[in-house]
A and B are shown apart, each in its own frame.
Chain A
Amino acid sequence: MLKILNKLLFHLKNILLPILLMVTIYIVMFMFQRLEKNPFNGDFMEFIKIVFPFVLLIILNIINLVFKQNTIENNTYYNITSILVMITIGIFCYRAIFDSNMIFWHKYGYKLNFNYFSDQISSIKVMLYGLSLANIILMISNSFKIEENTKVNKNKNIKHNYHR
């Protein structure tokens, strides 16, 4: 049961993250347009600073997926936290695009609340960098397990040769 839940959460996280990245880029593009900034020219670094935490976590997720790292895939606590982060970022994006009760949603005529979203960017970064850091540490911890396994296998081989 727990294994199925972990698998579900792990893959849901991998699907949600690129979608959220796309929505964030969509909002940020309008935000840059209003501030007369060009994300592909002069203000590229500013754009990268917003997008980088997403890209970093996507890369780490791909590594987890390709190398099938059990400590992350079977870690229910980490997976639940990741999903909670995705849902919260999703709420940020949803409210920036659709919550018309906030005055700034109407004020600049873009039907988007940049003011709200730009205030949430720092918290998005904290959440995503936190997840990335935890992921990297779990990956290092996972590599210790592989070494232990190889050590056990080596011992087994020695014993096997001795009995021969």
Chain B
Amino acid sequence: MKQFIKNYLNLIAMSITGMVFVITSFYFIMNYYHSDEVKKVIYISENDYNYKTQRDKIKKINDNLVKFKSLNVKNKNYAYLENQLETCYNVMKDTGSLYSLEPNKYYSSYDVYKLGGKFQNSVLNICWALHLSYLKGDNLPDEVKEIGPFVTGNVKTITNRTRDALMELQNNSSYFFTTNVTSLTLRNYLESDYQAIASSYNDFADILLNLSEVINGGK
């Protein structure tokens, strides 16, 4: 009887050890996979679509602003908008933005996260919220008032897209297995998140370019 109990206890102990072995092996392998995923980097070339087109647009904005200054427009509504656009132009060219990014280099997930953070903190919070969000104001040209609602809608899309990309990047800080949906946190989304953030820069540059063309058209 005692021999039976002893064997049975050994069997239980070995079963528990087996379960611990399985769980530990699972976490061991998953940690390797997760660390391998998060250390992936992306290569941003000078021919990257969003990088290239965004730079071209910012150069065109500068040309438009120079052109506007040379026209010496007296209308203070246009001058007001030009002043706001110049601030935004400087923000878009600031260090840490996509414009100032060094091309043909590898970038980690944290670099892309900083790029998105810069867009949120400088472009959206300073340029948009402080200077351009008042496009319905009285002291603006009529053409700007007309495109105002469209611009606001676009910025809303850009804001949501950037926020989602940043949250997805933050997801790489851990992994979960509670549901199928959360288990997706294991995968690497660096490339798609970079594209989302870079296209936000590109789309915002597009808005600024449109506004700079409006002030030149309404001289």
Contacts and interface: CB of A to CB of B under 8 A. Distances in A.
Interface of A: 71, 77-78, 80-81, 84-85, 87-88, 91-92, 95, 99-107, 113, 115-116, 119-120, 123, 126-127, 130-131, 133-135, 137-138, 140-141, 144-145, 147-148
A103 B16 CA distance: 36
Contacts of B108: 101
A99 B108 CA distance: 12
A91 B29 CA distance: 11
Contacts, number: 111
Nearest to B14: A77
Contact of A115 (B31, B35, B173): B173
Contacts of A87: 28
Interface string B22-36: 011101100100010
B172 A101 contact: yes
B87 interface: no
Interface stretch (B4-12, B54-62, B132-140): B4-12
20 contacts: A84-B25, A95-B31, A100-B110, A102-B174, A104-B174, A106-B110, A113-B173, A115-B173, A116-B174, A120-B27, A123-B27, A126-B20, A127-B20, A127-B23, A127-B24, A127-B27, A137-B10, A141-B9, A144-B2, A147-B2
B31 A126 contact: no
Interface string B159-188: 000000000011011111000000000000
A145 B10 CA distance: 12
Contacts of B17: 77-78, 81, 130-131, 134
Contact of A101 (B6, B109, B174): B109
B23 A126 contact: yes
B24 A101 contact: no
Interface in B165-213: 169-170, 172-176
Nearest to A138: B13
Contacts of A99: 35, 38
A104 B13 contact: no
B113 interface: yes
A6 B109 CA distance: 43
B35 A103 contact: no
- 6 tightest CB-CB pairs across the interface, nearest first? A104-B173, A130-B20, A137-B13, A141-B9, A102-B173, A101-B38
B170 A104 contact: yes
B20 A81 contact: yes
Contact of A103 (B21, B27, B39, B169): B169
Contacts of B147: none
Given A91-B31, A131-B20, A134-B16, A103 B170 contact: yes
B130 interface: no
B19 interface: yes
A95 B14 CA distance: 30
Contacts of B175: 119
Nearest to A106: B110
A102 B35 CA distance: 9
A135 B12 CA distance: 11
A130 B23 contact: yes
